[in-house]
Amino acid sequence: MTSPDHLDVDRLSALGGEPVLVVDAKVWRRPAAPIQAVVIGVDRDGVLPAIVADDFDLLVTVADNPPRPWVLLGAGDIDAHIARIADAVKANPLAATIAAQVLRLTAKLPLANALTIESLAYSTLLGGNEFARWRADRKADDIAPLPIEPVAVERNEDHVILTLNDPAGRNAMTAAMRDALYEALANALDDPSKPSVTLQGTGKCFSTGGALPEFGTAKDLAEAHAVRMLHSCARALDALGERATVRMHGACVGSGIEVGAAAHHRIAAPDTWFQLPELAMGLLPGAGGTATISRAIGRHRTLWMLLTEKRIGAALARDWGLVHEIEDRP
C-alpha cells in the first residue's frame, strides 16, 4: 500500500474505522505519520525476511520454530488465522490499539515507568464503552469470602515462602489478596537479612487472575490508578531481583502470569498454561503484564497473546523465555 500521510492516518485508528493493518513484512516500513492501527506483518512464504521490528506490532510467519519476535501461525488457512486476529482488534478497537501503543511506548523504559503508563491506560479503558459493554453483558455474581489468610507466609531461616491461599477460588487475585501479597513482598524488601522469596499457589492452579466480580467496582479511576501504583506486586517482586522465585502450576491467567513474570526465576510445572484474556473485556493487562511479560518474551509476542487469547503451554513458554525451567511440583 502507499505510505499514508499525516491526514490519511486518521482512518488507520479505532476512531477512523481501520484499527488493524495487515501488511507484507518483506516490504512494509512504518511511515513518519503516526499510525494508531495495530500493524501486523505477515511472512506468507516462511522465509523470515529481514525486517525492522519496530515497524510492526505483531509479526506472523508460517516458518517452523521462528526466532523472536516472530510467531508461528500454525497449521491451517493462513488467511483464516489472520482474519481471526483482525476480528479481535475490530471487536474492541480502542483496547487493542491502546495496548499496542502502550507496548511500543514502554518497551525501552525502566520497569517502574512502564508500569505507570500501563496503569494509566488501564484506568482509561475502565472508563470506556468497550469495558462497559462487557460488564453489561455479564451476569452479576457475588464475591466469595476469602480465607482468613489469603496469602500464607512461612519462614525457614533466610527463606520466605509466600503461598496464594484461596484454592476454592482458584487463587483469583482479589484486592485483598493483592494487598496481602504486596505487604508480604514489602516486608521481604525491608528485611535487613535480605531473605530469598518463593511465590507459589495452593490448590489446582497458581492463579486464574483478577477476581471478575471486582472488575469495574472502583468508583474513582484516578484513585484506582494510585492504589495500583502503591501496591504493585509486580514492581515489588522485580525489586527483589535474584532473591525472587515463582513456582507456577495449572492455570496462570491474566494477573496470574503478569505478576509471576516479574520474578527473576520462573519455574513451571509440566501442566502449567498461560493466557491473557483482557482484550475481550475491553481492557489491557492491568497488573503489569505489558511490562513484565514483554520483557520476558518481547512486545510482539505479548500482543499476540492478548489479541488471540490462546493458551501457552509450559514447553512453548520455556522456548519463548516466559519461564526458565519446567519441573514437577515439590
What CATH number is given to the structural domain containing 187? Answer: 3.90.226.10
Residue 216 reports pLDDT greater than 80:
yes
Residues 30 and 141 in one domain: no
87 and 118 in a single domain? The answer is no
Please indicate, yes or no, if residue 240 is contained in any of the structural domains. yes
Query: Strand, coil or helix: what is 82?
Result: helix
Residues 236-291: pLDDT tens digits?
999 999 999 999 999 999 999 999 999 999 999 999 999 999 999 999 999 999 99
Tally of domains in the chain = 2
2 belongs to a structural domain: no
Q: Please check whether residue 100 lies inside any domain of the structure.
A: no
Count CB atoms within 10 A of the CB of residue 84. Answer: 11
Q: Verify that 61 and 128 share a domain, yes or no.
A: no
Q: Where among 66, 91, 116 does a domain terminate?
A: 91
Least confident of 74-78, 149-153, 199-203: 74-78
CA distance 251 to 276: 11
Residue 151 lies in a domain: yes
Given a cut of 90, whether residue 1 has pLDDT beyond it is: no
pLDDT higher than 70, residue 5: yes
Question: Is 217 in the same domain as 267?
Answer: yes
Residue 146: is its pLDDT beyond 80?
A: no
Pair (153, 278) in one structural domain:
yes
Q: Are residues 135 and 261 in the same domain?
A: yes
Question: The domain containing residue 44 runs over which residues?
Answer: 8-91
Which pTM value belongs to this model? 0.95
Q: Are 288 and 232 in contact (CB under 8 A)?
A: yes
Residues 148 and 57 in one domain: no
Q: What is the pLDDT of residue 234?
A: 98
Domain presence at residue 98: no
Question: For the segment 32-78, what is each residue's pLDDT rounded down to a tens digit?
Answer: 888 999 999 999 999 999 999 999 999 999 999 999 999 999 777 88
- Please tell me whether residues 288 and 218 are part of one structural domain: yes
Closest CA to 174 of 205, 197, 142: 142
Confidence band for 144, pLDDT divided at 50, 70 and 90: low
> CA-based diameter of the chain, in Å?
65
In SS3 terms, 256-285 reads as HHHCHHHCCEEEECCCCEEECCHHHHCCCC
Average per-residue pLDDT for the chain: 94
What is the reported pLDDT for 2? 63
> Quick check: 233 pLDDT over 90?
yes
* 16 in a structural domain: yes
| Same domain membership, residue 288 and residue 160 | yes
pLDDT at residue 217, rounded to an integer: 86
Whether 114 is covered by a domain: the verdict is yes
**Residue 7 pLDDT greater than 90, yes or no:** no
pLDDT of residue 171 exceeding 80: yes
Share of the chain above pLDDT 90, in %: 86
Q: Which of 35, 65, 91 is the last residue of a domain?
A: 91
Of 44, 62, 91, which marks where a domain is finished? 91
> Same structural domain for residues 136 and 248?
yes
For residues 226 and 322, membership in a common domain is answered with: yes
